């Protein structure tokens, strides 16, 4: 019987990855299409991708597939051939990372979910087939010349903070399901204007464009392949980048540099910086921006409390974090507060927000 799940420890897998001599290519892709039996499709994918030594995370649902993976570069053509052998994925656009060493993932995880993007939409009349018009990089740049064009960033705050398109409107929420109705409310009265939605790889803005049309907006566009594909196209075609700064990505890199502009600031000292990191305290792992000097001064931690904790005996650290659900803890400057779920982190708010006040 074929192995359909990983059976090796994370530590061993990381070790193997670092010891690999062959180069890897990091790829992201998605596709909205109807899957009758997501579990069966998931198992079919796992058997083939495991053979090709693919690592990464893939979500499968009745509405389609969403993937961020890496593959040995020598197997890239075989991967493409396999994906294209699936009728709905034939000709699928594969977004190849532009700033990457191939060490983003060390295990293959394929999960079945209710949806590939949690959207909160329960209206049975909503139709993903009725979506906005694609625009490529040159078309995006051309539309941006029009002062009446509205550019909507459908990413989270921490993504927007380090890089975004010129004059892009941020939807101030960290969940896509909240952003959809917020975007509709913010754009009331602008139903006839050109509206361009964009996100990291295209999956969120494609659904957002369909939602805006569903809500009565007329001229809705979305950036094909998102920022990742835009960065590739402007490089290949020698176009000016209207995206400024760094593109946040959801793997170990936490960012791809698109332009040299640094538009964010260290959350601890306020100096220009756009390097995201997770707090080194395993009981915290707060996602925040930290410059090199603050990383050295605070041992990669977000606060004095966490810094003290990482120097405790390992067993004591385990006792402290036992039973705690960290969730996804992020520093959200747009709301002037920390948003961790850990009650232990609440007392650190004043210390980290000091970095914001110095900006």
Catalytic residues: 199
351 in Cβ contact with 307 (< 8 Å): no
**Per-position b or e across 134-154, b if 16+ CB within 10 A of its CB:** ebbbeebbebbeeeebbbbbb
H or E segment and range at residue 141? helix 137-144
With left for phi above 0 and alpha for psi between -120 and 50, is residue 56 left, alpha or beta? left
186, 355, 156, 142: CA torsion to nearest 10: 70
- Going along 62-182, which residue ranges are E strands? 64-72, 95-96, 108-112, 133-135, 150-153, 163-165, 169-170
- CA atoms within a 13 Å half-sphere pointing along the CA-CB vector of 53: 17
Rounded distance, CA 98 to CA 163, Å? Answer: 15
What is the torsional sign of CA 179, 180, 182, 188? Answer: positive
User: N- to C-terminal Cα distance for the chain?
Assistant: 58
What Å distances lie between residue 26 and 56, 94, 153, 235, CA to CA?
9, 10, 24, 18
Which residues are bridge partners to 318 per DSSP?
none
With left for phi above 0 and alpha for psi between -120 and 50, is residue 307 left, alpha or beta? alpha
What is the torsional sign of CA 245, 248, 252, 258? Answer: negative
């Amino acid at each position: 019987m074929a192995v359909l799940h990983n059976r090796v420890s994370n530590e061993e897998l990381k070790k193997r990855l670092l010891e690999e001599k062959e180069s890897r290519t990091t790829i992201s892709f998605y596709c909205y299409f109807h899957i009758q039996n997501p579990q069966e499709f998931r198992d079919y994918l796992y058997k083939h991708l495991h053979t090709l030594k693919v690592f990464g995370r893939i979500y499968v649902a009745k509405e389609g597939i969403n993937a961020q993976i890496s593959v040995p570069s020598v197997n890239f053509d075989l991967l493409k051939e396999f994906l294209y052998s699936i009728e709905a994925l034939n000709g699928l656009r594969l977004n190849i990372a532009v700033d990457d060493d191939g060490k983003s993932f060390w295990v293959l995880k394929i999960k079945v979910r209710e949806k590939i993007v949690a959207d909160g939409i329960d209206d049975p009349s909503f139709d993903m087939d009725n979506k906005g018009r694609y625009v490529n990089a040159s078309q995006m740049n051309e539309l941006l010349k029009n002062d009446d064009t509205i550019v909507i960033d459908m990413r989270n705050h921490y993504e927007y903070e380090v890089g975004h398109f010129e004059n892009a409107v941020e939807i101030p929420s960290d969940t896509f399901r909240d952003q959809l109705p917020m975007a509709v409310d913010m754009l009331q009265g602008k139903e006839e204007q050109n509206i361009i939605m964009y996100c990291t790889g295209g999956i969120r803005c494609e659904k957002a464009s369909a939602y805006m049309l569903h809500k009565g907006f007329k001229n809705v566009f979305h950036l094909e392949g998102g920022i990742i594909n835009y960065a590739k196209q402007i490089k290949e075609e020698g176009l000016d980048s209207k995206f400024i700064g760094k593109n946040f990505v959801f793997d170990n890199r936490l960012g791809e540099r698109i332009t040299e502009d640094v538009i964010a600031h260290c959350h601890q000292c306020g100096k220009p910086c756009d390097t995201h990191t997770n707090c080194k305290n395993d009981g915290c792992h707060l996602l925040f921006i930290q410059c090199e000097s603050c990383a050295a001064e605070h041992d990669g931690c977000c606060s004095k409390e966490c810094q003290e904790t990482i120097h405790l005996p390992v067993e004591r650290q385990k006792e402290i974090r036992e039973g705690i659900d960290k969730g996804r803890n992020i520093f959200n400057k747009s709301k002037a507060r920390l948003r961790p779920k850990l009650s232990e982190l609440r007392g650190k708010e004043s210390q980290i927000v000091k970095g914001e006040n110095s900006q």
